[in-house]
Amino acid sequence: MKLAVVGATGLVGGEILEVLAERQFPFEELLLVASERSAGTKMTYQDKEYTVISMADAVAAKPDVAIFSAGGGTSKEWAPKFAEVGTRVIDNSSAWRMSPDHKLVVPEINAHVLGDDDRIIANPNCSTIQMVVALSKLHERYKVERIVVSTYQSVSGSGKKAVDQMMAERKQETPTMAYPHPIDQNALPHIDVFFDNGYTKEEMKMVNETRKIFGDDSIRVTATAVRIPTVGGHSEAINVEFAEDYTLEEVRELLSQTSGVVIQDDPANNLYPMPLTAHKKDEVFVGRLRRDESNPNTLNMWVVADNLRKGAATNAVQIAEYLYTQQSVEA
């Protein structure tokens, strides 16, 4: 497989390269791709020096798979050009997620929807991914009817400029502002732009993407997304109402059977998921499991994952692994 990583010089691009190495992804040729201003620069990856190439040169090279992490505008412009030469594009931006003509994929849940004609595949939003992974088997068993979710999201989800702002504030330096307010020692209930309904784009992503991934528009979802001063890892307080009742014992058993989920649920010994311990991990961590005593058939859970890993890079690489497996089977 000839593999291209588009946006290789960025925060998520670097994480994609780390995940590829850790998972020993079987590419035969690797293309590191970035904007025109970065083309020609050198990068060392796995003890080999690469020259970063431009988007146009990458299209001309006709890679089998291109993992995009270069922003929505770049994806809208360039993903179709890669698709035209036969490349399977896995895109990390929001450009294609809600398009009815493109699949939105979390491999543990719905990789089976992918066909040979799917040339542009959307990677979901980081917050959505960890939530649906945690809920997938519970949804199969009890049917999710309503989700109330509050997120506590790391500054790394906003990119390097946001991390730099927080670090400068901690050193009491004058930062270049990525946010409209200070972020260190603060919490901002404001992720992405506000819509006319009062919700942010990030919050509505969680509503719409959850329904699309589960293939069920009847699921009611409401979200509040908050940025907090952690470097890596998103946390979510999820209140989920099911059509059928459950036992906590069965919930734990189903979660233990869910691929990619690790249960950390022993509050008596101070064991519960935290962004600090989820950092650089590929799994989704679930804990604080308890019945909502105010509403029937309703469960409270606390879900944490590294937003640059399962929330972006790892999920994209897992999709590439699925494509590679299908290619090998067909061969």
Q: What is the pLDDT of residue 6?
A: 97
Q: What is the pLDDT of residue 150?
A: 98
Residue 268 shares a structural domain with residue 172:
yes
Q: Any idea what the CATH number is for the domain that residue 225 is in?
A: 3.30.360.10
Residue 64 shares a structural domain with residue 201:
no
Catalytic residue list contains 126: yes
Q: What is the pLDDT of residue 328?
A: 65
Residue 215 shares a structural domain with residue 104:
no
Domain count for the chain, please give it. Answer: 2
Close Cβ partners of 304 (under 8 Å, ≥ 6 residues apart) = 130, 233, 234, 235, 236, 273, 274, 275, 278, 284, 285
Question: What are the tens digits of pLDDT across the range 280-289?
Answer: 999 999 999 9
- Of 102, 139, 234, 279, catalytic: 234
Question: What letter represents residue 292's amino acid?
Answer: D
Assign 28 a pLDDT band (cuts: 50, 70, 90): very high
Three-state secondary-structure class, residue 82: helix
- Of 126, 139, 181, 279, catalytic: 126
Residue 48 shares a structural domain with residue 81:
yes
Residue 157 shares a structural domain with residue 300:
yes
Six-digit token pair at 72? 């929505």
Question: What are the tens digits of pLDDT across the range 75-90?
Answer: 999 999 999 999 999 9
Close Cβ partners of 41 (under 8 Å, ≥ 6 residues apart) = 9, 34, 51, 52
pTM over 0.85: yes
Q: What is the DSSP string of 147-208?
A: EEEEEEE-GGGG-HHHHHHHHHHHTT--PPPSSSS--TT--BS--SPBPTTS-BHHHHHHHH
Residue 256 shares a structural domain with residue 168:
yes
Residue 117 shares a structural domain with residue 162:
no
Q: Any idea what the CATH number is for the domain that residue 16 is in?
A: 3.40.50.720
Which structural domain range is residue 232 located in?
Answer: 127-307
> Looking at the DSSP assignment, which residues form a beta bridge with residue 221?
147
Question: What are the tens digits of pLDDT across the range 146-164?
Answer: 999 999 999 999 999 999 9
